[in-house]
Chains A and B, each alone.
Chain A
């Protein structure tokens, strides 16, 4: 039993068809509990008032936006090295989700920033690098759309994903160099004392778990759609040949 067995689309479809409802259900539970807890059962912050509660969407979305690219990097590598179709289809399926997460993080940040910083947008390193990440997603998706042959598209986007990862990281630190920040430090970290107070942190962890599960469910769902679409195309091609 190894993970590579799921490279077989049939095995993947079988397994994902019974995993998907569970992941979806768990994601829904975690999100509903976490968001309700976060929105209604935590106290207002003494300085930020109730605006602090946007953290329950902003932080998980931002984390998923970055982790989604990391996942695409891994699956692209797997495709380039072992040529497993499911892997690259998962990368294709994940890209729009990651892009949406980036947008959510940018928008919730703007909504929070308006009352707190007095501005919707500032050219702060974190904000800027998120905008840049959004551009990288845009290019990746556009390349998928533009190339007609699926295998060529898979190869080209995988190479773009690898090179893009290097440059995205470079941009991240270049931006840090270019402008000093307005954004606060990390909300959560494993090794430091100073972060969000526990009252806020517990529901936050729950919503993060919810976003992760939600992301997994969406990726599974969209990958299944991609596999079905490809099967459909193969069937149509066979019909035409016959």
Chain B
């Protein structure tokens, strides 16, 4: 499992892996929003938590179809499926690698981008914490979506159509945590619910994703 994780990390970080793409996308979204809604600090501070969460979510979405599609193309997915490691474990490792190369970097740059959006000082902690806790759920839900569409030629657009509705609860609780934090309110409740969603997704979705992969490799 560790070898697989390291392989995926190496593939993602080396040339052509698209490691920086989602970060660049996140940056561009945060630049575009003030250009769209105007530069008033008050407005930006009000929408900053939501914009950052939606931006992180979309950036996460960008790299989802790479989770299984590349391995499927060169045939290594078939090899991995016949390996002693159960498919559920494979999905977990893949989703974890996706999180390490997408969710974690997004979480780390979010406070920097929050400066651009004039987030109130009280909001930095809850924002980072909510992203740290919430983005694994995005990766695991995304891995499920990628597993569903791995057999399709042009699965990218369909993948977003399938995955985005599944992202709604995570987005709501995550953005709510960040918003309450920014307004100086107690943000424990949505944070706990967010953690619940992440744990549930990590526990259950590898099984669903593995089932989908089995169907697609049939």
Q: Which residues of B contact A155 (CB under 8 A)?
A: 211-212, 215
Interface range for B:
20 to 34
**Cβ contact within 8 Å between A156 and B165:** no
A133-153 to B contact mask, C-beta < 8 Å, 1/0: 001101100110011000010
Q: Which residues of B contact A32 (CB under 8 A)?
A: none
**Binary per-residue interface labels of chain A (159-170) against chain B in the complex, 1 for a CB within 8 Å, 0 otherwise:** 110111011101
Residue A174 CB within 8 A of the other chain: yes
List of 9 A-B pairs having minimum Cβ-Cβ separation, nearest first: A174-B169, A170-B169, A155-B215, A135-B165, A174-B172, A139-B162, A171-B168, A167-B166, A178-B172
C-alpha spacing A104/B169, complex, angstroms:
25
Q: Is A132 an interface residue (CB 8 A)?
A: yes
Q: Could you say which residues of chain A place their CB within 8 Å of the CB of B165? A: 132, 135-136, 139, 164, 167-168, 171
Query: In the complex the two chains form, what is the Cα distance from A63 to B197 in whole Å?
Result: 27
Of listed B149, B172, B208, B218, residue having the most chain A CB within 10 A: B172
Judging by beta carbons under 8 Å apart, are B148 and A156 in contact? yes
Taking CB as reference atom, which chain A residue is nearest B194? A174
What distance in Å separates the Cβ of A71 from its nearest Cβ neighbour in chain B? Answer: 19
B115 interfacial by beta-carbon distance below 8 Å: no
Q: B91 CB to closest chain A CB, in angstroms?
A: 13
Q: Given A147-B152, A160-B148, A178–B176 Cβ distance below 8 Å?
A: yes
A162 to B204, CA, bound (A): 11
> Can you list 10 pairs linking A and B with CB atoms under 8 Å apart?
A138-B161, A139-B161, A142-B161, A142-B162, A143-B149, A143-B158, A152-B215, A159-B215, A166-B204, A177-B173
Binding site for B on A (CB under 8 A): 132, 135-136, 138-139, 142-143, 146-147, 152, 155-156, 159-160, 162-164, 166-168, 170-171, 174-175, 177-178
State the CA gap A168–B168 with chains docked (Å).
9
Residue of A nearest to B167 (CB): A167
Q: Looking at chain B's contact residues, is the secondary structure mostly helix, strand, loop, or mixed? A: helix
CB atoms of B161 and A159 under 8 A apart: no
> Which residues of B lie under 8 Å from residue A139 when comparing CB positions?
161-162, 165
Contact with A along B198-211 (1 / 0, CB 8 A): 00000011001001
Task: State how many angstroms separate the Cβ of B77 from the closest Cβ of chain A.
Answer: 16
The CB with the most chain A CB atoms within 10 A, among B168, B190, B197, B205, is that of: B168
Chain B window 108-150, contacts with chain A (Cβ cutoff 8 Å), 1 for yes, 0 for no: 0000000000000000000000000000000000001000110
Q: How far is the CB of A221 from chain B (nearest CB, A)?
A: 27
For B216, the chain A residues whose CB sits under 8 A away are 152, 156
Bound-complex Cα distance A139 to B162 (A): 5
> What is the CB-to-nearest-CB distance from B205 to chain A, in angstroms, rounded to a whole number?
7
Chain A positions within 8 Å of B218 at CB level: 152
In the bound complex, CA of A163 to CA of B200 (Å):
12
Q: Does B164 contact A (CB under 8 A)?
A: yes
With both chains docked as a complex, state the minimum distance between the C-beta of A152 and any C-beta of chain B, in angstroms.
Answer: 6
- Report the minimum CB–CB distance from A207 to chain B (whole Å): 30
CB-CB < 8 A to A147: which residues of B? 151-152
Q: Nearest-CB distance from A13 to chain B (Å)? A: 27
Q: How far is the CB of B121 from chain A (nearest CB, A)?
A: 24
Q: What is the CA–CA distance of A147 and B155 in the complex, to the nearest angstrom?
A: 10
Distance, CA A142 to CA B193, complexed state (A): 30
Q: A170 — nearest CB in chain B belongs to which residue?
A: B169
Contact, CB under 8 Å: A162 / B161 = no
Q: In the complex, what's the smallest C-beta–C-beta distance from B193 to chain A, in angstroms?
A: 7
Residue in A135, A146, A166, A175 whose beta carbon sits within 8 Å of that of B172 in the complex:
A175
> Could you say which residues of chain B place their CB within 8 Å of the CB of A146?
149, 152, 155, 158
A177-B190 contact in complex given A152-B151, A159-B208, A171-B168, C-beta closer than 8 Å: yes
Q: For the complex, what is the distance from the CA of A35 to the CA of B164, rounded to whole Å?
A: 38
Whose C-beta in chain B lies nearest to the C-beta of A140?
B162
Q: Which residue of B lies closest to A173 (CB)?
A: B169
**Interface contact A143-B190, CB-CB below 8 Å:** no
Interfacial residues of chain B within 144-198, with CB under 8 A of chain A in the complex: 144, 148-149, 151-152, 155, 158, 161-162, 164-166, 168-169, 172-173, 176, 190, 193, 197
Q: Which residues of A contact B169 (CB under 8 A)?
A: 167, 170-171, 174
CA distance A162 to B212 in the complex (A): 12
- Across the interface, A143 reaches (CB within 8 A) one of B162, B204, B205, namely B162
